[in-house]
Amino acid sequence: MTNEDYDKQSAREIIEGFENRPEMLVQILHAFLDRFGWISDEAIRQLASELNLSRADVHGVVSYYHDFRTSPPGKHVVKICEAEACQSMGSRELSEHAQESLGLGMHESNDDVTLEPVYCLGNCACSPAIMVDGKTFGRVNADRFDEIVATMNEAR
């Protein structure tokens, strides 16, 4: 995951890549997320100004979608699939275990980790699935989850 400091020139280039089209706001926000890791107030102000939208318009879209986190993520991002196939294979219990073991609720972060739900990782045949820093893991139970997190922490 990229998590660069916000920089207005890079942000402008992203917006120009979408021809400054306000109807592309969701796609631009995804590109911001990929580049900067989160959507800051500064980003919202710049988007509003360059797309000729109100700040309330941009803020409304950002707050509607949980994907658009509005605070910096931890060093690692752990996503637990909570879509149907994974739920049928125990992702709810896995999610509870993850929250307990990381000491975080969903959509919460500390300096090390951000924990988020996700809705299908395209790995339904190997449910329940999780993603850690962009890498997908299948058939994850509580023990395997703890192993993956331990490895993630070693990789710092």
**Residues contributing to the site for ligand FES (CB under 6 A):** 81, 83-86, 120-121, 123-124, 127, 129
**Of 120 and 148, which has the nearer Cβ to ligand FES?**
120
**Of 53 and 120, which has the nearer Cβ to ligand FES?**
120
CB of 125 to ligand FES, least distance (A): 8
Phi, psi of 137 (to 5 degrees): -125, 140
How far is it, in rounded angstroms, from Cα 102 to Cα 148? Answer: 12
| Residue 50 CB-half CA count within 13 A | 22
CB of 134 to ligand FES, least distance (A): 15
CB of 117 to ligand FES, least distance (A): 10
How far is it, in rounded angstroms, from Cα 128 to Cα 137? Answer: 9
